[in-house]
Amino acid sequence: MRVALAHNLRRGDGVDQRGFTSREEVAQLLESMRCLGHDPVAMDVGGAVEETVARLRAARPGLVFNLAEGWAGPWRQSFYPALYQQLGLAHTGSGPMPLGLALDKHLTKLLLRSHQIPTPGWVFVKDPGEVPVLEGLRFPVIVKPNFESCSKGIGPQSLAATRHEAMSRVAACLSEYPDGVLIEEYVPGRDITVPYFSAAGGALAPAETTMPATATAGGLFDYTLKQDPERWKHLQVPAPIPAPLARQARTLTHRAVQVLGLLDFARADFRLSPDGRLHLLEVNGLPGLPAGGASHQALVLAGLDPATALADAVISSATARLGLNPGG
C-alpha cells in the first residue's frame, strides 16, 4: 500500500521545533514500512498549504501516516487531519476534534474529572487582568501553557510556592502563551508514562523516566530534560512499580483515551505520588514514535517485531478501523 508519512521535519533545537519529527525517526519508520511490504513516501508538510495539497494529490496514498504537529495555535494538531479529510484521504490516528481536545489541557482535565479519573487540581487563566480564585489549590503549584506539548514552557521557573509567585508566573507565561495557562497543583513523585496502541491491546506496559534532576525536591521533567539525548539511559520499561499499580495505570489510560475519543495510538503521562496514588497530568494524542522510546519498548514487550513494531501497530489499527486492504 502507498503510505505517505506526513510530518513536520525537525531542523533544529529551537522551541519552535517542539514535537517535530527527527530525520532518524522518519528514516526508521520508512524502513519499517518497507519491511512490512508497503510503498512509503516521506512528506514534510511544513511548507505552504497549497504545496502540501499538491504533493498529497500527486502521491495518491492509500493511507496517510500522520505525525504532523502543525506550527501554531491551539488547533495546530487538528489542521492536518482536517485537511486529509477534505481531500478524501484516509489517515492514521485521531481526527481533528479529539486531537484539539487532547491538546487543550483545561478541557481534558474537565473531562477526566467528570469521569472520576484522578488529575491534579487546577485553575485556567486566559485574561491577564483576571484575578483567579486559588484558595482551593494546594501549594506549591506549577504554571504552564495550556496548549503546548513536550513540556514546552515548563522549567524551574514554573514552580510557585505562594499566590504572589503564582500570579507573577502567570503574567510571564501569558505574555508568551496568550491562549491561556494552567495553575496546577504540583505533585511530587515519579514520572510514569503509559503508551496506548489499539492494535496491540490498548494500554501497554507503563514506563518510568528516572533522571536525577526529577528526583530532587521540586523536580520537573521539563522541556530541557525532554530534549536531552541522555534521557533514554534513564528510561525503564516496564516501570519498576507493583503489578496492581501497573494495572491501574493501564486502566486509567484506557478510560482516558476512550473519554477523549482518541484513535490508534496515544500516550498518558502520570505522576506517581509518594503515597502511591496516580495523578493523570495529560494525554498526548499525537506522541512521537522514536525507536527505543517507551512506545517502542512496550510494543516489543507486547510481542511485536522490534524492526517494525511502531509502524505495524499504527497501520494495522488504522487499516482495520477504516476497512482498508493493507496490501492494496
Regarding whether 307 and 221 lie in a shared domain, the answer is yes
- The pLDDT tens digits of the residues spanning 265-296 come to 999 999 999 999 999 999 999 999 999 999 99
Question: The domain spanning residue 133 has which CATH number?
Answer: 3.30.1490.20
Interior CA angle at 126 toward 20 and 154, to 5°? 40
User: Do 46 and 128 fall into the same domain?
Assistant: no
Structure letter (DSSP) for residue 16: G
3-state secondary structure of 142: strand
Average of pLDDT values for 81-89? 97
User: pLDDT per residue over 195-249, tens digit each?
Assistant: 999 999 999 999 998 856 555 555 565 545 555 556 556 799 999 999 999 999 9
Would you say residue 214 lies in a domain? yes
CATH number reported for the structural domain that contains residue 78 in this entry: 3.40.50.20
Element housing 64 (H / E): strand 63-66
Adjacent-strand bridge partners of 284: 267
Owning domain of residue 142: 121-185
In a domain? residue 244 = yes
Same domain, 313 and 205: yes
DSSP conformation class of 261 = T
Same domain flag for 281 and 312? yes
156-202 confidence digits (pLDDT tens): 889 999 999 999 999 999 999 999 999 999 999 999 999 999 999 99
Residues 280 and 197 in one domain: yes
Shared domain check, 217 and 173: no
The answer to whether 170 and 126 have CB atoms below 8 angstroms apart is: no
Is residue 17 very low, low, confident or very high in pLDDT (cuts 50, 70, 90)?
Answer: low
Taking the C-alpha atoms of 303, 309, 315 and 321 in order, what is their torsion angle to the nearest 10 degrees?
20
Q: Does residue 101 lie in a domain region?
A: no
Q: Is the pLDDT of residue 130 over 70?
A: yes
For residues 27 and 49, give the distance between their C-alpha atoms in angstroms, rounded to a whole number.
24
| Domain final residue pick, 52, 74, 93 | 93
Write out the three cell numbers for 182: 494552567
Q: Same structural domain for residues 148 and 214?
A: no
User: Which residues make Cβ contacts (< 8 Å) with residue 288, sequence separation at least 6?
Assistant: 19, 21, 25, 67
pTM score of the predicted model: 0.92
Q: Residue 150 above 80 pLDDT?
A: no
pLDDT at 154: 86
CA distance 198 to 190: 26
In this structure, is residue 225 part of a structural domain? yes
Q: Looking at the structure, tell me whether residues 278 and 227 fall in a common domain.
A: yes
User: Is 18 domain-assigned?
Assistant: yes
Domain count, the chain: 3
Give the pLDDT score at 216. 54
Does any domain span residue 115? Answer: no
213 in the same domain as 149: no
* 180 domain-assigned: yes
Whether residue 80 is contained in a domain is answered as yes
* Pair 193, 209: CB distance under 8 Å: yes
